């Protein structure tokens, strides 16, 4: 991301429902940026009409953003938003990537990008599976409201040998770490890694999943989980999720500022140290 653009966009992420107006000092602190740099960016955004400086010298977002928000296509779907990211991840990891949604008491595949490998996991749009089995369904269940989860379990566990305590521990761990991994739970020999996708209300109605043969996935599951988590954050940001659940531009700006400071220090000329004067020793 271009440095100046990333820093300017990070300022917008400094605002939330608890911070509707901010002083210059607060903006600089919330995006971890030097006050002088924040001042230049805030000044630019104010002149461009994206920020308003009030009488008390605090800044708030302008109605220009509301006007632009009204231009967002109401028909822009999760499929259009997620597809480019799915293609990118598929190219990076060469495994099947699927987008899933909650449909009643089941999960449905909305879209899939297959791996080029002859040994592959098949996922077809429109395919439905029980929510209870596999990483895709379990990560969706991990973020359900308690009453919704109870209804889903009631519909899915009839006549099955179900360990509720173990299930609760598992989805709590999945939610805590931000991704789910299951091995052979739905199909023997298949490993799945699934991550939640947050919408503009920070609710989880979709999941992104990577599936493939365990012999290929298990040895690099942590690496693939990181790739999938980054992809889900990207999609969540495009859906309007908060910085906590999407890409936090404040952190990108702070990392960029730290990198710039280190680069400046590296290029700075070394200080010349004056040689010490030699003092002749005298005999006692």
Give the separation between CA 119 and CA 95, rounded to whole angstroms. 10
Residues 215 and 91 placed together within one structural domain of the fold: yes
Give the separation between CA 212 and CA 191, rounded to whole angstroms. 6
Give the separation between CA 90 and CA 93, rounded to whole angstroms. 5
pLDDT for the residue numbered 155: 84
- Any idea what the CATH number is for the domain that residue 18 is in? 1.10.10.10
Residue 23 domain-assigned (yes or no): yes
pTM of the model: 0.72
Work out whether the CA dihedral 133, 211, 178, 15 comes out positive or negative.
negative
Residues 13 and 148 placed together within one structural domain of the fold: no
Residues 227 and 153 placed together within one structural domain of the fold: yes
Residues 102 and 196 placed together within one structural domain of the fold: yes
Total number of domains in the chain: 2
- CB count in 10 Å sphere of residue 196: 24
Query: Which run of H or of E encompasses 67?
Result: helix 63-69
Residue 278 domain-assigned (yes or no): no
Instruction: Please give the residue range of the domain that contains residue 64.
Output: 3-71
Residues 65 and 82 placed together within one structural domain of the fold: no
Residue 243 domain-assigned (yes or no): no
Tokens of 137: 């369904």
Dump pLDDT digits (tens) for 37-67.
Answer: 889 899 889 888 888 888 888 999 888 887 7
Residue 26 domain-assigned (yes or no): yes
Q: What are phi and psi of 129, to 5 degrees?
A: -140, 155
Find the range with the poorest average confidence among 119-133, 196-210, 243-257, 265-279.
Answer: 265-279
Q: What is the crossing angle of helices 3-13 and 249-267, to 10°?
A: 140
Residues 90 and 223 placed together within one structural domain of the fold: yes
- CB count in 10 Å sphere of residue 157: 14
Query: Which run of H or of E encompasses 206?
Result: strand 204-213
| Whether pLDDT at 71 is above 90 | no
- Any idea what the CATH number is for the domain that residue 232 is in? 3.30.450.40
Residues 125 and 201 placed together within one structural domain of the fold: yes
Beta strands 190-198 and 180-183 are: antiparallel
């Amino acid at each position: 991301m271009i440095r100046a653009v990333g820093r300017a966009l990070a300022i917008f992420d400094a605002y939330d429902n608890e911070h509707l107006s901010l002083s210059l000092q607060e903006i600089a602190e919330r995006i971890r940026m030097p006050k002088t740099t924040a001042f230049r960016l805030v000044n630019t955004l104010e002149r461009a009409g994206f920020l308003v400086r009030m009488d008390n010298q605090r800044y708030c977002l302008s109605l220009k953003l509301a006007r632009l928000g009204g231009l967002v296509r109401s028909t822009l779907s999760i499929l259009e938003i997620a597809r480019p990211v799915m293609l990118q991840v598929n190219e990076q990891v060469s495994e099947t990537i699927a987008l899933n949604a909650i449909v009643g008491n089941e999960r449905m595949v909305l879209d899939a990008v297959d791996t080029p490998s002859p040994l592959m996991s098949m996922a077809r749009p429109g395919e439905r599976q029980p929510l209870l089995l596999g990483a895709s369904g379990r990560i969706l269940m991990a973020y359900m409201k308690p009453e919704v989860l109870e209804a889903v379990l009631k519909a899915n566990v009839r006549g099955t040998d179900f360990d509720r305590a173990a299930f609760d521990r598992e989805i709590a761990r999945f939610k805590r770490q931000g991704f789910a991994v299951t091995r052979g739970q739905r199909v023997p020999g298949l490993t799945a890694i699934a991550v939640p996708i947050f919408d503009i209300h920070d609710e989880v109605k979709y999941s992104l999943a990577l599936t493939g043969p365990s012999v290929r996935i298990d040895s690099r599951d942590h690496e693939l989980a990181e790739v999938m988590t980054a992809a889900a954050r990207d999609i969540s940001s495009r859906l309007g999720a908060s910085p906590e659940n999407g890409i936090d531009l404040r952190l990108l700006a702070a990392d960029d500022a730290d990198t710039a400071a280190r680069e400046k220090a590296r290029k700075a000329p070394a200080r010349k140290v004056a040689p010490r004067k030699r003092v002749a020793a005298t005999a006692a």
